[in-house]
Amino acid sequence: MVISLRRRPSVRICHFSCAQISLTANLIAHLQSTWRSSVYDHFHAPTIVCHLDGHIMHKFMCRSIHPTICVSRADYEDSTSNLKRHIELCEPMDTPEAQTMQDFAHGVTYSWPQVRYLIAMWCVCSHCPFSIVEDREFQKLLQMLYLKIRLPSHFTIARDIRVITDSAETSLIKLFKVSTDSLVHLCVDGWTSPNVFSYLGITVHWHHQASIHHVLLDYVQ
């Protein structure tokens, strides 16, 4: 069976057999030599997918911050519209202010600092490992909700939690320097973590504005 790979009218039509499809290196090199648009620079060299019904697709993988995203195009198509559409959504690391305002006008409230803060708090409050942000399924889930989302590394989460802890300590000191409407109780509490490590912690408890508050001041293993 012979499959025609048609390109722009100015390019000679080449014919490749099904057996030759498996030898994609020369074929891809030939296709790239016929592409003049700069949009292809945003993608890795395409892979060729041959379907059982005879259809051939070119699969373009993103080079940028969304390496798991690909754009497929039939072998007989020349249009770069889908590729350009992806590039418009695949923004660089720093979003221009104008683009941020445009996204906000369309109902997007995404904020990079807020994403870092919420993920750090989620890991702490729900006892999630920091490496969860590197899970591919988790990344795809968030990208489905907002394609331009950036996710911090587990190192960044660890640093953010230290910054949040330091900030909380400063706020707590300021709170206790002023008079409160109730007594402050200090307690010593011991517990064992799921990985069988024993800890002894110092906690503080107080009543403020109709709510009971609890804070871990320090702990030792």
Position 1 pLDDT exceeds 50: no
CA distances from 206 to 42, 180, 184 (A): 56, 9, 5
The count of other CB atoms within 10 Å of the CB of residue 213 is 15
Contact 31, 5 (CB under 8 A): yes
pLDDT at 146: 80
CA distances from 13 to 18, 122, 157, 199 (A): 16, 56, 53, 72
What is d(CA 217, CA 187) in angstroms, rounded to the nearest whole number? 10
Give the type of residue at 151: L
CA torsion 101-103-106-110 (nearest 10°) is -110
Q: What mean pLDDT do residues 96-107 have?
A: 53
Q: How confident is the model at residue 96 (pLDDT cuts 50, 70, 90)?
A: low
Give the type of residue at 186: L
pTM of the complete model = 0.47
Which stretches of 21-113 are assigned E, i.e. beta strand? 47-50, 56-61, 70-74
Q: What is the mean pLDDT of the chain?
A: 73
Q: How confident is the model at residue 66 (pLDDT cuts 50, 70, 90)?
A: low
Summarised one tens digit per residue, pLDDT across range 121-157 is 998 888 888 889 888 898 888 888 887 788 888 888 8
Contact 21, 31 (CB under 8 A): no
pLDDT at 108: 58
Contact 171, 131 (CB under 8 A): no
What is d(CA 61, CA 73) in angstroms, rounded to the nearest whole number? 12
**Which string of DSSP letters, residue by residue, matches 120-175?**
HHHHHHTT--GGGGG-HHHHHHHHHH-TT-----HHHHHHHHHHHHHHHHHHHHHH
Between these two residues, 3 and 52, which has the higher pLDDT value?
52
Q: What mean pLDDT do residues 29-49 have?
A: 76
Token pair of 200, please? 């002894």
Token pair of 155, please? 């190192």
Q: How confident is the model at residue 16 (pLDDT cuts 50, 70, 90)?
A: very low
Which stretches of 39-114 are assigned E, i.e. beta strand? 47-50, 56-61, 70-74
Q: How confident is the model at residue 179 (pLDDT cuts 50, 70, 90)?
A: low
Least confident of 45-49, 152-156, 189-193: 45-49
Q: How confident is the model at residue 67 (pLDDT cuts 50, 70, 90)?
A: low
